[in-house]
Chain A
Amino acid sequence: DSGVTQTPKHLITATGQRVTLRCSPRSGDLSVYWYQQSLDQGLQFLIQYYNGEERAKGNILERFSAQQFPDLHSELNLSSLELGDSALYFCASGDSTGRLPGTSGSLGEQFFGPGTRLTVL
């Protein structure tokens, strides 16, 4: 058990709808990362939050958005869903900034939640 929780485990919805995926990071982790894993695209980094602020963006569509709340849990919002959005969505938590090696929280490893499987019909 990584200590990262994600809800729901499974989500089935229709095209055009909007869904919200939730993630709670490990205790003490300030960073939350979202990834999308689909069969043809592999593991794609979507977005990172650190202590409530967006810090890095990857291949995230404009129809998708995320936020991190004061209690550090995060939500990924997916709107105007398309068939191609069907995928596993993972949340990971980890250390904080890219500080210099040897300083606290500089290692970069991430701990993944069990994922939410989204099926768009």
Chain B
Amino acid sequence: KAGVTQTPRYLIKTRGQQVTLSCSPISGHRSVSWYQQTPGQGLQFLFEYFSETQRNKGNFPGRFSGRQFSNSRSEMNVSTLELGDSALYLCASSLPGLARQETQYFGPGTRLLVL
């Protein structure tokens, strides 16, 4: 079974631009969560999608948004990029249900550098 895939793997943008990251979950997984990982703050929860609906949201500004498609693939978008948005963005997928947080499989991440 193929794992979680994320594209692109690396990205360089400049301040003020916007960026879209993509995540394809494991086949059959309908829940997708996004995380931001930085050296200073560690791994922080961004949002979770299930059946094309945002289920949970972390404490991030409105510049961070996401969506999920009917095939469970998900995208996240960051508008008006700031230097502090430089980070590793991880996507994780899981089967739906109460134990979905505990059974997440992580993708390799997209490393975003904002200059």
Tell me, yes or no, whether A binds B.
Answer: no
